[in-house]
Amino acid sequence: MRKRHLSKVLVLGLSMSFLAACNGGQQTTEDEGGSNGTVTVLGVVVGEQQEKLEAALAPFEAETNIDVVYEGTDAFATLLPVRVESGDAPDVAMFPQPGLMTDFAAAGQLIPITTFLDRADLETAFSDDWLTLATINDELYGVWFRASVKSLVWYNPQAFTAKGYAVPTTWDELIALSDRIVAGGETPWCLGLESGDATGWVGTDWVEDIMLRTAGPAVYDQWITHEIPFNSEPVKAALEQFGDIVLNPDYISGGTVGAISTPFGDSILGLFDDPPRCYLHRQASFIASFLPEDVVPGENVAVFSLPGIDPEFGTPVLVAGDVFGMFNDTPEARAFMAYLTTPAGHEIWASLGGFISPHKNVSLDVYPDEVARQQAEILANAEIVRFDGSDMMPGVVGTGTFWSGIVDYVGGDEVDSVLTDIESSWPTE
């Protein structure tokens, strides 16, 4: 890193030893093989969210005079391997899940970040679960920047107050509330599985959340790595417990036909009808972008954690998110990765909305509304965090037969048949 960049990164609050690690204690110049003052980044963030990402990175550019050349694409999983294979890899990639990052790391195409960042500083910034999610073959390859909290139940506090409902804190209380709503002649749940070619993914999130709550994180980890078969008893039990809700004609707005045909982004709208079509909706934090314009966070929409089931495992949190990995070992790329470990960029994007940070040192005060703060607090307090299982499985399963198997199950296929079909699709190599 050029000397003028070092002095300005110091302004961001990084320690001198931390900065020295970023360039091995050496200064480089253009003639010595240094980069040209830019860092190229490829990611999936586009549109309004890209504008927020660029705002989060603006202080880095201003303080270092390093230009961040960001390219957003909705064909990331296709484009990145082509770029890498042709020798045109970006300096840094913003991976939407750790699975693809793992492939590049295993092939020796990514740079372990602990070759230039201090492990102790990373442990100060991120919990062990997040560090583990970016660890491949005992090497740490990624810096997490954006999290999606999935283990959420959305509800309308005004509708709850009108009916005298209380937020459940256990699974038994959740089912008792559902039964109470049915007894009152109404429908407890809205659920939409339709998502074009990705139809069914919403149901996989349900099963993953239930697996974490019934079988625990160790068995969950064995499941997503195929150390236990997909048709093993813990998976069957989780799918059937999801079935207790989705296959109950009294529980789901529109029944199973409605669940299969309702677009996932529309299903939350039933909370705000008059009278409500439903009172509960389990969905990730990103569903906030589908809320009606007249919905006011904290007034007529709020969230609570999907309750635990087995007390041994508490209330785990299922997540998705974006992790940055580095292909090209340049001083500018090292400085960029170092910036991502500081709270600065996280807090900027969090303040703009639509963003939850996995960084331990981001203040809850920066979030723009009560519901965003609720989600950040749920994530910060989680004792067990696991990444979306279908995103961690081989694509033919996780984004293939698992998705379609959910639709088959909700459509009436027998549970053992569905799970055996998914199991038989798991790649043998």
Closest CA to 260 of 199, 210, 207, 209: 199
Whether 180 and 280 map to the same domain: the answer is: yes
Whether 118 and 180 map to the same domain: the answer is: no
What is the pLDDT confidence band of residue 395, given thresholds at 50, 70 and 90?
Answer: confident
Q: 19 or 83: which carries more pLDDT confidence?
A: 83
What is the pLDDT confidence band of residue 34, given thresholds at 50, 70 and 90?
Answer: very low
Whether 301 and 417 map to the same domain: the answer is: yes
DSSP 297: B
Angle between helices 233-246 and 217-224 (to 10 degrees): 100
Cα separation, 292 vs 298, in Å, equals 14
Residue 388 lies in a domain: no
Measured at the alpha carbon of residue 292, what is the angle toward residues 146 and 178, in degrees to the nearest 5?
A: 85
Residue 8, pLDDT > 60, answer no
- At 99 the pLDDT is 85
What is the pLDDT confidence band of residue 28, given thresholds at 50, 70 and 90?
Answer: very low
Whether 107 and 224 map to the same domain: the answer is: no
CB of 232 closer than 8 Å to CB of 412: no
Closest CA to 150 of 269, 264, 299, 256: 264
Whether 166 and 269 map to the same domain: the answer is: yes
Residue 94 lies in a domain: yes
User: Measured in whole angstroms, how far is the alpha carbon of residue 214 from the centre of its chain?
Assistant: 21
What is the pLDDT confidence band of residue 97, given thresholds at 50, 70 and 90?
Answer: confident
For the chain, the average pLDDT equals: 91
Range of the domain at 270: 152-315+393-424
| Proportion of the chain above pLDDT 90, given as a percent | 88
Residue 17, pLDDT > 50, answer no
Residue 235, pLDDT > 70, answer yes
Q: What digits encode the pLDDT tens for the residues 151-203?
A: 999 999 999 999 999 999 999 999 999 999 999 999 999 999 999 999 999 99
Q: Mean pLDDT across the stretch 335-351? A: 97
- At 381 the pLDDT is 93
Q: What digits encode the pLDDT tens for the residues 122-161?
A: 999 999 999 999 999 999 999 999 999 999 999 999 999 9
- At 161 the pLDDT is 97
Whether 105 and 143 map to the same domain: the answer is: yes
Which positions ≥6 away from 10 have C-beta within 8 Å? 16, 19
Residue 4, pLDDT > 50, answer no
Q: Mean pLDDT across the stretch 264-279? A: 97
Q: CATH number for the domain including 413? A: 3.40.190.10
Whether 268 and 402 map to the same domain: the answer is: yes
- At 30 the pLDDT is 39
Residue 219 lies in a domain: yes
Whether 365 and 284 map to the same domain: the answer is: no
CB of 224 closer than 8 Å to CB of 230: no
Residue 36, pLDDT > 90, answer no
Residue 202 lies in a domain: yes
Burial 211-226 (b: 16+ CB within 10 A, else e): bbbbbbbebbeebbee
Cα separation, 7 vs 27, in Å, equals 12
DSSP 306: P
Whether 42 and 91 map to the same domain: the answer is: yes
Whether 224 and 165 map to the same domain: the answer is: yes
Angle between helices 98-106 and 76-85 (to 10 degrees): 10
Residue 82, pLDDT > 90, answer yes
Q: Please give the torsion angle defined by the CA atoms of residues 380, 385, 390 and 393, in that order, rounded to the nearest 10 degrees.
A: 130
Whether 306 and 407 map to the same domain: the answer is: yes
Closest CA to 38 of 57, 16, 55: 57
Residue 24 lies in a domain: yes
Q: Mean pLDDT across the stretch 387-399? A: 93
Within the chain, what is the greatest distance between any pair of CA atoms? 77
Whether 49 and 97 map to the same domain: the answer is: yes
Cα separation, 287 vs 280, in Å, equals 13
Count of structural domains within the chain: 2
Residue 429 lies in a domain: no
- At 11 the pLDDT is 35
Other C-beta atoms within 10 Å of 380: how many? Answer: 16
